[in-house]
A = this chain, B = another copy of it.
Amino acid sequence: MVMSPSQQLDATFAALADPTRRAILARLASGEASVNELAKPFSMSQPAISKHLKVLERAGLISRGQDAQRRPRRLDAKPLKNATGWLEKYRQFWEGSFQRLDVLLDEMKAREKKPALNKREERSR
């Protein structure tokens, strides 16, 4: 199945939106592992783990190693690179410069409103 870059981001972010799947990726970061080895630390049934692995596989985040018996899974990090690329566009915002401007504008608007209110209050006196 060929996915558009947008569909790829959908699949990647959806796959990452689960603590078990993130833990599986963290485990695979230290080397490839079989389904049994992956299931062990999670006190989860193998079918439950297999379901998570399918989501990760469909997102292109894991693939299968060459060993036909163990069928080990290994991390494929390219989708993580693309997801980070998307997020990086917002770096300027979390680094503060843009957000501070927004807050400043709000404060200016709030200050503009107050004198107007005061004038009406004065008139009604």
Residues of A within 8 A of B (CB): 6, 9-14, 16-19, 22, 25-26, 29, 31-32, 65-67, 74-78, 80-81, 83-84, 86-91, 93-94, 98-99, 102, 106-107, 109-110
Contact = CB atoms under 8 A, between A and B. Distances in A.
Contact of A22 (B18, B86, B94): B86
A6 B19 contact: yes
Kindly report how many copies of this chain are found in the complex they form together.
Answer: 2
Contact of A25 (B77, B90, B99, B102): B90
Given A9-B19, A66-B107, A80-B93, 20 more contacts: A6-B19, A9-B16, A10-B17, A10-B19, A11-B17, A13-B14, A13-B17, A14-B17, A22-B86, A29-B93, A65-B102, A66-B106, A74-B102, A75-B98, A75-B102, A76-B99, A77-B93, A80-B90, A84-B94, A87-B87
